[in-house]
């Protein structure tokens, strides 16, 4: 049976470190502040936003949520973002995705000033992260996976990492991070048009799956002894439990966990790290602002 890589446990360690750093910043006269803009009434997004707010408050950070109606106009949304860009009490801004279809999400994300773009989605931050410029914010989920690898002492140098998925939010930035000097991994990116996906996944020393398709990775698609990170989170109906649904990943956990060295569960794996790394980025942004004020 595989060793379970608990994102919940690792996240708890990091959040304790964050709280200590927040207190240090507060003593220096600055409280890290995170603002979340939520458009519409998507329940999953609303739950996620509430989790972010609670995490901020527990760490001693300032949390602000701006909830706008689903039919909000582009100009009004831009005005809200501009106000947050100019607010000295706010060090991190994120616009919760997905946005309603009438809003140009790329333009919305680019409206957030790069210095407060703790999601790491602004093209300037994406480019900085790609070339290894430390001024760029790394998107939270890839940053969380890298931290899990480090804290679990999972070697990456010379290892073959196969990533299933090609998103700009997870897969592409993660590939850049893993190939950089230091991690020194060899990375293969696959996607839904990859021919014979299993022939690639079976070669992985470290397999990272971020698609959102329950049960995509079955035991015969995994090399025995590999390390598996399951980023997928999908609600599936389950009338046997009070909630009426359960959260599952992209990996057949029961089957694959019998073969591999280590695996992340869903829930409780990569998911908790995402919010935690958003807090980390916000603290970094606040510390940079403090350093600027001292120059």
pLDDT, one tens digit per residue, over 14-63 is 999 999 999 999 999 999 999 999 999 888 888 889 999 999 999 999 99
CB 195 within 8 A of CB 173: no
- pLDDT in single tens digits along all 295 residues of the chain: 899 999 999 999 999 999 999 999 999 999 999 999 999 988 888 888 999 999 999 999 999 999 999 999 999 999 999 999 999 999 999 999 999 999 998 999 999 999 999 999 999 999 998 888 889 999 999 999 999 999 999 999 999 999 999 999 999 999 999 999 999 999 999 999 999 999 999 999 999 999 999 999 999 999 999 999 999 999 888 888 888 888 999 999 999 999 999 999 999 999 999 999 999 999 999 999 999 888 6
> What is the set of domains in the chain, with CATH numbers?
29-113 (3.40.50.10860), 140-270 (3.40.50.720)
pTM: 0.94
pLDDT of residue 129: 87
Is 213 annotated in the active site? no
| Active-site choice (27, 75, 82, 96) | 96
Is 52 annotated in the active site? yes
pLDDT of residue 295: 67
| Active-site choice (119, 205, 250, 252) | 119
pLDDT of residue 185: 98
């Amino acid at each position: 049976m595989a060793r379970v890589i608990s994102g919940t446990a690792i996240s708890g360690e990091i959040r304790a470190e964050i709280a200590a750093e927040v207190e240090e910043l507060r003593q220096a006269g600055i409280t890290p502040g995170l603002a979340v803009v939520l458009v519409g009434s998507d329940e999953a997004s609303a739950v996620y936003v509430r989790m972010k707010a609670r995490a901020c408050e527990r760490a001693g950070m300032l949390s602000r949520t701006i909830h706008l109606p689903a039919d909000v106009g582009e100009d009004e949304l831009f005005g809200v973002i501009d106000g947050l860009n100019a607010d000295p009490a706010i060090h991190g801004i994120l616009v919760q995705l997905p946005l309603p279809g009438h809003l140009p999400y790329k333009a919305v994300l680019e409206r957030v000033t790069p210095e407060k773009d703790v999601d790491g989605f602004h093209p300037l931050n994406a480019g900085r992260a790609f070339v290894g410029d430390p001024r760029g914010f790394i998107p939270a989920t890839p940053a969380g996976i890298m931290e899990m690898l480090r804290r679990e002492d999972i070697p990456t140098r010379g290892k073959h990492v196969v990533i299933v998925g090609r998103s700009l939010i997870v897969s592409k930035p993660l590939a850049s991070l893993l190939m950089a000097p230091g991690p020194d991994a060899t990375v293969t990116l696959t996607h839904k048009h990859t021919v014979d996906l299993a022939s690639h996944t079976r070669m992985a020393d470290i397999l990272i799956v971020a698609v959102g398709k329950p049960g995509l990775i079955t035991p015969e698609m995994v090399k025995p002894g590999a390390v598996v990170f399951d980023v997928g989170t999908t609600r599936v109906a389950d009338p046997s439990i009070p909630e009426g649904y359960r959260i599952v990943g992209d990996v057949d956990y029961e089957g694959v966990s019998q073969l591999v060295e280590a695996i992340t569960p869903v829930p409780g794996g990569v998911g908790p790290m995402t919010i935690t790394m958003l807090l980390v980025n916000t603290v970094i942004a606040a510390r940079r602002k403090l350093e600027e004020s001292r120059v």
